Chain A
């Protein structure tokens, strides 16, 4: 019973948990609320573990499939399933949710239950996005996940939170509404089906493919975000509370990239090939130009936000060079970025909780007062610039290899990220952590406590583990990526 409904549980368990958290909350029992949320988040994570252990990596077909009619009027089904591409993200998402609950443990003092519930609901909805195989179901999850994030940014965010929350919501909605039109068009073309897998084999003329590709691009490019529609991200990141930034960077950005793999590439392969030059150009602009933009930031969160855009540009580059190593590199990069960006935001959060400033200039010599924290921060900074033996290296290296295979100069341009990434990350780290103690606020800093140690330690384990031994990750995705590549290579005209 449980085994056949694992995916449903991974979606609805956190959401049901959120309802319980909300219902049992009262002003006096914030401690209880936190413990309860942690239990829900942990259960949510544990329920996803069998998805990995029970996953048959030799198959490219969908696994753990669940199918039930939902809205027969439009032939919409509650159709869930995961392949090697999506299964890892469900684990990642549920894992990050646990960390986010821990990270908000002390900082969030107002409306604790609502805060925790918003994250739990979002966790469930995002699991739904990753395992929905019915396009209408996918869309419903995709848009519904905006609501909790909107609330999180708007209620617990920084001074300019209202602007950021609106920008986030409307930007994403604009993109996804165009996707909705594309989904409806495909529904009619396929003779009344919202089944994504059926759409994969649907023959389409080039003009239709191009329009579909562009409509999907509108939705996913905003979500990734790709240059030039990235401007909502720095605002959202800066204003969101630490947990919100972590989830946004670690999971929500991946939804866009995942959308390319699930929709754009297999449904419009010919258009994808035809427009690959355009996509590569956009990605390279993101990698290089945004890399430079990151260099001049004075706000740490903004810097990491731009770094995320640059890294996601790398992922999209990996998708449009059409070779196995590029795809797998991009996927590894997505997972790794999930760990690293979450870790970076949590690190900034640790400092922000103490100093209430995100300005790099407000810091200096943090290593003197917070040695344990500074070591963790250094590790994540290194991973962010792709140091070998950290998870950041594996993905970037594979994508660069794939890009060189595709075209030397593309590979060359992409490889500049290793320099740029190192420049902006390490320069920030140097200004924040090294040197003499800058001011009396820094001098009063206390090092991380056990809870923060646990959160950062878990992420450090993941970053190092994935960097030293990426096989468990790549092994799972191998068959599915292979299948996808073969599929994309066949023309649908």
Chain B
């Protein structure tokens, strides 16, 4: 048996991250616990290093390596860069919060790095096995992160729920993959597409597998009716971890949805589009309606996440109309744009909760935002921008995200779907407006000044302004989405 050395170059950033994670693990052994900031710094530097490597090695070619298990393309590079940015922002947001709760341990940084690695593998997976490995690496790290505060019964319960349901979802995904393997005889995503294209695969088995695949995906993305874990985990996890779960993994989720459904099972678009339609409509409807009844901001944002993921699906399911594919690029890039803007807004809104939380006080109830405009007009403005953006009001990026997705759906001629989406966005607008109301119209309950480090304040301001600025000039990101997809399809 002759062994061929695989090409490591396309996976350079993953390798760097892994090496650095191991290095930090070693550093942690010799470092006294008072010098934790060194770990934080090293983690940030690792992310910066990965960003540089990813940026430098992005050459626009689609390169497969490790026996076609790993793909390096522009789509992956772009999404990975965004993952670095959001993980790095999340680390800055959460430092003060974790330190105040004595949770800022090295495990936190390491688990974050490993889950980042998991996301990178997911994004670059071109094989069912590598995809699954990446997903499990991410999920297992997240289970542990949710239980980081081991003295909190709520966090432990959330972690348990997350683990049980996550394992079930992984099972579903694996079962679906095995079915597709049975029908096509290959685990390579490209090979699956080829085999279906040539019509050698048994369609019944394929569709059977597809159902499980889509269910597993829906679990991971948190779509109705597979959404049960989302509110509990968002609520139970320490807010810094909720911020993490709510942000970067959505990008990875988008990536695997693209890899599996669009790259692998494009020929079955007719089938999975119907499934996604049902998931999307249910998610938008239930997510928005149930969010109205929440008094806890983290739960509210959890249901809002469900509805936003449903909205993103609207973009994914608009690619093919009756076999006609020339809408595909626009539709997928709209979904990608949606995912990116959503991550940006989530980072900011959970960042606001972290900003208002102090030692011994979780600012996670809606009441905590009462009268914020009097305590800090600037951050009330930032939160206002984020809420209006989530509600989809112009001039903010959330509007253009909804706009491009809806336009993609109108392209398919499914006007009813647009009407449904629009109707439930209207209901959604209510609970976002309520947050604005609490901040501006009500008198404050808390009068304590906001304690936050300068870097956090700066980053949160940049985040809020980015939402406004990208809302005024969304073209750059839109172009990037379309361009990377065009070069990677």
Separation of A169 and B434 alpha carbons in the complex (Å): 11
Contact (Cβ within 8 A) A188 B422: no
User: In the complex, which residue of chain A has the Cβ closest to the Cβ of B419?
Assistant: A181
Please, what's the 1-or-0 string for B459-489, where 1 marks a CB less than 8 Å from any CB in chain A?
0000000000000001100110010000000
Contact (Cβ within 8 A) B430 A74: no
Contact (Cβ within 8 A) A74 B407: yes
Separation of A52 and B3 alpha carbons in the complex (Å): 81
**A73-B475, A187-B407 in contact; A144/B422 too (CB < 8 A)?**
no
State whether the Cβ of B388 lies closer than 8 Å to any Cβ in chain A.
yes
State whether the Cβ of A370 lies closer than 8 Å to any Cβ in chain B.
no
Report B-chain residues with C-beta under 8 Å of the C-beta of A404. none
Partner of B425, one of A150, A162, A177: A177
State whether the Cβ of A46 lies closer than 8 Å to any Cβ in chain B.
no
Report A-chain residues with C-beta under 8 Å of the C-beta of B317. none
CB within 8 Å of A: which B372-396 residues: 377, 388, 393-395
Contact (Cβ within 8 A) B437 A154: yes
Separation of A35 and B97 alpha carbons in the complex (Å): 43
CB within 8 Å of B: which A182-214 residues: 184-185, 187-188
Contact (Cβ within 8 A) B475 A140: no
State whether the Cβ of A262 lies closer than 8 Å to any Cβ in chain B.
no
Report B-chain residues with C-beta under 8 Å of the C-beta of A147. 388, 393
User: In the complex, which residue of chain A has the Cβ closest to the Cβ of B478?
Assistant: A73
Report A-chain residues with C-beta under 8 Å of the C-beta of B422. 177-178, 180-181
State whether the Cβ of B144 lies closer than 8 Å to any Cβ in chain A.
no
Distance to closest chain B CB from A8 (angstroms): 14
State whether the Cβ of B410 lies closer than 8 Å to any Cβ in chain A.
yes
Report A-chain residues with C-beta under 8 Å of the C-beta of B475. 70-73
Partner of B406, one of A71, A162, A170, A180: A180
User: In the complex, which residue of chain A has the Cβ closest to the Cβ of B393?
Assistant: A143
State whether the Cβ of A114 lies closer than 8 Å to any Cβ in chain B.
yes
Please, what's the 1-or-0 string for B439-461, where 1 marks a CB less than 8 Å from any CB in chain A?
01100000000000000000000
State whether the Cβ of A165 lies closer than 8 Å to any Cβ in chain B.
yes
State whether the Cβ of A151 lies closer than 8 Å to any Cβ in chain B.
yes
**A140-B394, A181-B422 in contact; A74/B437 too (CB < 8 A)?**
no
Distance to closest chain B CB from A382 (angstroms): 38
Separation of A355 and B474 alpha carbons in the complex (Å): 50
Report B-chain residues with C-beta under 8 Å of the C-beta of A254. none
Chain A: number of interface residues, binned into ranges? 20 to 34
Distance to closest chain A CB from B395 (angstroms): 5
Distance to closest chain B CB from A118 (angstroms): 11
Partner of A162, one of B400, B410, B429, B437: B437
Partner of B440, one of A72, A155, A170, A180: A155
Contact (Cβ within 8 A) B395 A140: yes
Separation of A166 and B419 alpha carbons in the complex (Å): 21
State whether the Cβ of A251 lies closer than 8 Å to any Cβ in chain B.
no
Partner of B441, one of A74, A146, A154: A154
Separation of A166 and B433 alpha carbons in the complex (Å): 8
Contact (Cβ within 8 A) B394 A143: yes
Chain B: number of interface residues, binned into ranges? 20 to 34
State whether the Cβ of B226 lies closer than 8 Å to any Cβ in chain A.
no
State whether the Cβ of A229 lies closer than 8 Å to any Cβ in chain B.
no
CB within 8 Å of B: which A92-118 residues: 114
Report B-chain residues with C-beta under 8 Å of the C-beta of A72. 475
Report B-chain residues with C-beta under 8 Å of the C-beta of A114. 377
**A180-B406, A181-B415 in contact; A165/B388 too (CB < 8 A)?**
no
State whether the Cβ of A406 lies closer than 8 Å to any Cβ in chain B.
no
Separation of A71 and B422 alpha carbons in the complex (Å): 22
Contact (Cβ within 8 A) A174 B426: yes
CB within 8 Å of B: which A115-171 residues: 136, 139-141, 143-144, 146-147, 150-151, 154-155, 161-162, 165-166, 169-170
User: In the complex, which residue of chain B has the Cβ closest to the Cβ of A76?
Assistant: B475
State whether the Cβ of B304 lies closer than 8 Å to any Cβ in chain A.
no
Report A-chain residues with C-beta under 8 Å of the C-beta of B404. 73-74
Report A-chain residues with C-beta under 8 Å of the C-beta of B441. 154-155, 161-162, 165
State whether the Cβ of B411 lies closer than 8 Å to any Cβ in chain A.
yes
State whether the Cβ of B114 lies closer than 8 Å to any Cβ in chain A.
no
**A74-B407, A181-B422 in contact; A146/B482 too (CB < 8 A)?**
no
Report B-chain residues with C-beta under 8 Å of the C-beta of A187. 407, 410
State whether the Cβ of B418 lies closer than 8 Å to any Cβ in chain A.
yes
State whether the Cβ of B399 lies closer than 8 Å to any Cβ in chain A.
yes
Distance to closest chain B CB from A207 (angstroms): 13
Separation of A188 and B418 alpha carbons in the complex (Å): 14
State whether the Cβ of A173 lies closer than 8 Å to any Cβ in chain B.
yes
User: In the complex, which residue of chain B has the Cβ closest to the Cβ of A184?
Assistant: B410
Partner of B430, one of A162, A166, A188: A166
User: In the complex, which residue of chain A has the Cβ closest to the Cβ of B423?
Assistant: A177
Distance to closest chain B CB from A255 (angstroms): 15
**A73-B482, A177-B426 in contact; A146/B393 too (CB < 8 A)?**
yes
Separation of A177 and B407 alpha carbons in the complex (Å): 13
Contact (Cβ within 8 A) A184 B418: yes
Contact (Cβ within 8 A) B429 A169: yes
Contact (Cβ within 8 A) B440 A139: no
Separation of A154 and B411 alpha carbons in the complex (Å): 38
**A155-B440, A170-B426 in contact; A144/B394 too (CB < 8 A)?**
yes
Contact (Cβ within 8 A) A181 B429: no
CB within 8 Å of A: which B406-424 residues: 406-407, 410-411, 415, 418-419, 422-423
Report B-chain residues with C-beta under 8 Å of the C-beta of A162. 437, 441
Distance to closest chain B CB from A69 (angstroms): 8
Separation of A177 and B415 alpha carbons in the complex (Å): 13
Report A-chain residues with C-beta under 8 Å of the C-beta of B410. 181, 184-185, 187-188
Distance to closest chain A CB from B98 (angstroms): 34
Report B's interface with A, CB cutoff 8 A.
377, 388, 393-395, 399-400, 403-404, 406-407, 410-411, 415, 418-419, 422-423, 425-426, 429-430, 433, 436-437, 440-441, 474-475, 478-479, 482
20 A-B pairs in the complex with CB atoms less than 8 angstroms apart: A71-B474, A71-B478, A73-B482, A143-B399, A144-B393, A146-B393, A150-B433, A151-B440, A155-B441, A169-B433, A170-B429, A170-B430, A173-B393, A173-B426, A180-B403, A180-B422, A181-B406, A184-B406, A184-B418, A188-B410
Task: Kindly list 10 other residue pairs between chains A and B, CB separation below 8 angstroms, not including A154-B437, A170-B429.
Answer: A140-B394, A140-B399, A146-B393, A147-B393, A165-B441, A173-B426, A173-B429, A180-B403, A181-B418, A188-B410
Report A's interface with B, CB cutoff 8 A.
70-74, 114, 136, 139-141, 143-144, 146-147, 150-151, 154-155, 161-162, 165-166, 169-170, 173-174, 177-178, 180-181, 184-185, 187-188
